[in-house]
Structure 1
Amino acid sequence: MFSDLVQCLTHASGKALATGLTRVLLSSIALLSPAAFAGWQDPLNTPALQTERAHETLLLDVVRADQRLVAVGGHGHVVYSDDDGSTWRQGKVPVSVTLVAAYFPSGDFGWAVGHDGVILRTTDGGKNWAKQFDGYQANDEIVAAATRTKERAQAQLDAAETAGDDVAIEDAEMALEAATYALQDAEYDKSTGSTKPFMDVWFYDAKRGFAVGAYGMFFATENGGESWEDVSSRLPNPDRLHLNAITPVGAHSLVVVGEMGMILRSDDLGQTWHQLESPYDGSLFGLLAQGSHQLLFGLRGHVYNSTDGGISWNELSTGSEQTLLSGVIGHKHTLLVGNGGSVVVFDSALNNPVSTILEGRKAYAAVAEASDGNYVIVGEAGVKRLNAAGEMIDQSISMAAGDF
């Protein structure tokens, strides 16, 4: 299925996107004959297959929903566990696209996002999911926003010409040119279909939340996801760099990290944003915050420590060059996980990193702390469990008996 091929390629390195290759492939697909798509089913309208091996397939995020653990991943799979990751059940999902990230502001209410611009919501802790939004709607919203921006730029140019202000005219002409290009890009993206993935989602409460993704996608909701608005114009991201993660760093402060070392910060719950100086010019995949202490991580094992809320950074030597994709601050230790079976364990003060490589060297995309003090990690080998020292626990993991 061509959609699956695109999704696999865009996930070639954990949450990293093979941007150029994806665009080339999409252009090639557009030239294929209709016969090539015979029997194709739109994964946005095809429910995820129920399988007793869902916990062993590709999973890309795992999060806490109170005491429950919920993991999401390939083919629309969502699995959840109420016994610290030993036994899992599969949720009912109305799509079969790859799900990349999830977030629960409470035990019942949660959201998941993924490929083809999909946003799902659950109101029962991950058992049942409903589609709220997809890439087709995202394209419409982006085109509408770009059209409004171009109209404003044209109005500013008209006003400047009426006033005879040469400086204002030059500025307005540049703004109109940029807006015209942005609208053309949005219209082109719309013509290729629902191709752009969301990479992360975060909610302040059951009403207010954000979803971030590829090509600078940044959407907000004020009504629990009943409607989503393209608010990418709030970000200083004119090149539409990929946005990989969004993280709270204070009561009303958020940080978005992404491609080319991008670090954006808001101190008014996402209304306005400014760019921070970055210690690294490669892709960043996440940030962990504990008070004024932060850990920033990304490509090739780069990890940076800040003790002043992200104003200054010091690089930490982890002894590994494996890309790090996710992490969690636990009660006793902080863990980062990534490609090649890489696990980096920090002490309670987010210092003294110790790097290990798990047997099998599989890529792991996310980690969550279970209520028993151990950790659950997910990735290309499905679900695994680690102890507090980051060592694999030799314990059977299964789907609940009688579910299939």
Structure 2
Amino acid sequence: MNTTAKIAKYAAPLLLSLAMCAANAAPLQGEMVSQGHAHEALFGVNASAQGLIAVGGAGQISTSKDGSTWQRINLDLGGRSLLAVSDVGGNAIAVGQQGVIVRRDTNTWQEQQSPTSERLFSVAQDGAGFVIASGGFGTILRSLDGGKHWEKLQIDWQALIGQSYEPHVYNVTVDDQGRAYMAGEFGMIARSDDRGTTWHTLHTGDESLFGLAFGQRGLAYAVGQSGTILRSQDGGESWAKIESGSDAILLDVSIRDDDRAVITGIREALSIEAGGQRVERLNNAQLLDSWYCDVGVYNGNFYVVGQKANVLKLSI
């Protein structure tokens, strides 16, 4: 497949469903800082103190130290795409199709031995050696040495979601206390306080969740199918749905230090005002004529990546 499963599975019935957000559009400036070609795509982006890393089709890795100038390489991964990337303290790890895992050692990216052939959608780490990755059919991988060695975790899905079905886990993240979270099918959000050994459920529902982000002061958002936006104000302990004004597929969310959030999706982009519930549609032609599946915050600006391997800088 040429795109992530989280896009392909739900895109067909909803591509033409572009409901307008009821609120006024947020003031926005968009700048295309890197462009690819028609048959290329970027699927993941990570922002850190070291800069930005974006990953995509056919092993593409693009990096920038200032958000404006980008350098690109393509790893020889046998045509496999990289779908997500995490960089904490210079320890960069990317994951993707057929269970591929690559890690940057100094300036060289090396493929690591993977315990799965399932597609990996997401990767996160705590900066102290704990790394977690998630993927198709309930795949959860863990590393305790910064991504050099990996194991596949056995999850009690019956206890978590009330059935033995192994759900796709589209997103994982690690908060500033080292707790791991995962989100996926059946509106599932679950947390582990012991580096992935045990999990407990925080939320279940009907719509799949694709994006998950934690901000400051206990704020967190999860986004997904049919315009779903969930918000937590207590560090993920409880979640409540807020109205998005959209039926689009929402793929990712990122939260700035001032609590402003930006959400990207398939021909849809939304923003949530700092400290509020008002959801605004970002009426930018570059956003709405394409799909962007990941977003990060760097130097106060939002960077979104997606179709045609484009990187769009959003100032809001």
TM-score normalised to structure 2 length: 0.81
The amino acid of 1:289's aligned partner reads: F
Match of 2:19 in 1: none
Match of 1:131 in 2: 111
Deviation at 1:53, TM superposition (A): 4.2
Q: Is the 8 A contact 1:15 1:244 kept in 2?
A: no
Q: Deviation per CA, 1:264-292: give whole Å up to 9, x if none.
A: 111223221112232x3111012222332
Q: 1:286 aligned to 211, 216, 224, which one?
A: 211
Q: Is the 8 A contact 1:55 1:88 kept in 2?
A: no
Which secondary structure state, in structure 1, belongs to the residue aligned with residue 285 of structure 2?
coil
State the 4+ residue runs in structure 1 displaced beyond 4 angstroms: 15-18, 52-56, 234-237
Higher helix share: 1
Deviation at 1:247, TM superposition (A): 1.6
Higher strand share: 2
Residue 255 of structure 2 corresponds to residue 272 of structure 1: no
The amino acid of 1:297's aligned partner reads: V
Aligned-residue Cα RMSD (Å) equals 2.5
Q: Is the 8 A contact 1:92 1:128 kept in 2?
A: no
Deviation at 1:366, TM superposition (A): 0.8
Change (3 A) 1:97 1:255: same
Which secondary structure state, in structure 2, belongs to the residue aligned with residue 83 of structure 1?
coil
Match of 1:167 in 2: none
For residues 183-222 of structure 1, the aligned pairs below 5 Å read: 194=117, 196-205=118-127, 207-222=129-144
Q: 2:93 aligned to 73, 95, 111, which one?
A: 111
Match of 1:71 in 2: 54
Deviation at 1:97, TM superposition (A): 0.7
Q: Is the 8 A contact 1:91 1:128 kept in 2?
A: no
Q: Which runs of 5+ in 2 are unaligned?
A: 12-34
Q: Is the 8 A contact 2:190 2:203 kept in 1?
A: no
Whole-angstrom distance in 2 between the partners of 1:55 and 1:202: 29
Q: Is the 8 A contact 1:15 1:199 kept in 2?
A: no
Match of 2:63 in 1: 80
Match of 2:154 in 1: 232
Q: Is the 8 A contact 1:56 1:383 kept in 2?
A: no
Which secondary structure state, in structure 2, belongs to the residue aligned with residue 91 of structure 1?
strand
Whole-angstrom distance in 1 between the partners of 2:227 and 2:142: 31
Q: Which runs of 5+ in 1 are unaligned?
A: 1-6, 19-51, 139-193, 390-404
Q: Deviation per CA, 1:294-346: give whole Å up to 9, x if none.
A: 21211011102222333433322222211111121113421111111x11112
Whole-angstrom distance in 1 between the partners of 2:9 and 2:113: 23
Whole-angstrom distance in 1 between the partners of 2:298 and 2:236: 28
Deviation at 1:212, TM superposition (A): 0.8
Match of 1:345 in 2: 271
The amino acid of 2:101's aligned partner reads: I
The amino acid of 2:48's aligned partner reads: A
Which secondary structure state, in structure 2, belongs to the residue aligned with residue 369 of structure 1?
strand
The structure with the larger Rg is 1
Whole-angstrom distance in 1 between the partners of 2:98 and 2:249: 25
Q: Is the 8 A contact 1:93 1:128 kept in 2?
A: no
Change (3 A) 1:202 1:133: same
Deviation at 1:59, TM superposition (A): 0.2
Residue 179 of structure 2 corresponds to residue 253 of structure 1: yes
Q: Is the 8 A contact 2:48 2:298 kept in 1?
A: no
Whole-angstrom distance in 1 between the partners of 2:193 and 2:181: 9
Which secondary structure state, in structure 1, belongs to the residue aligned with residue 238 of structure 2?
coil
For residues 307-322 of structure 1, the aligned pairs below 5 Å read: 307-322=233-248
Q: Deviation per CA, 1:131-189: give whole Å up to 9, x if none.
A: 0034xx42xxxxxxxxxxxxxxxxxxxxxxxxxxxxxxxxxxxxxxxxxxxxxxxxxxx
Whole-angstrom distance in 2 between the partners of 1:370 and 1:274: 32
Q: Is the 8 A contact 1:199 1:244 kept in 2?
A: yes
Q: Deviation per CA, 1:211-245: give whole Å up to 9, x if none.
A: 11001111111223332111123664631111111
The structure with higher relative contact order (CA 8 Å, sep 6+) is: 2
TM-score normalised to structure 1 length: 0.64
Match of 1:395 in 2: none
Which secondary structure state, in structure 2, belongs to the residue aligned with residue 14 of structure 1?
helix
For residues 3-402 of structure 1, the aligned pairs below 5 Å read: 7-8=1-2, 11=4, 13-14=6-7, 16=9, 53=36, 57-84=40-67, 86-95=68-77, 96-106=79-89, 108-124=90-106, 127-134=107-114, 137-138=115-116, 194=117, 196-205=118-127, 207-233=129-155, 236=159, 238-278=164-204, 280-290=205-215, 291-332=217-258, 333-340=260-267, 342-349=268-275, 351-359=277-285, 361-371=289-299, 373-389=300-316
Whole-angstrom distance in 2 between the partners of 1:339 and 1:78: 22
Which secondary structure state, in structure 2, belongs to the residue aligned with residue 116 of structure 1?
helix
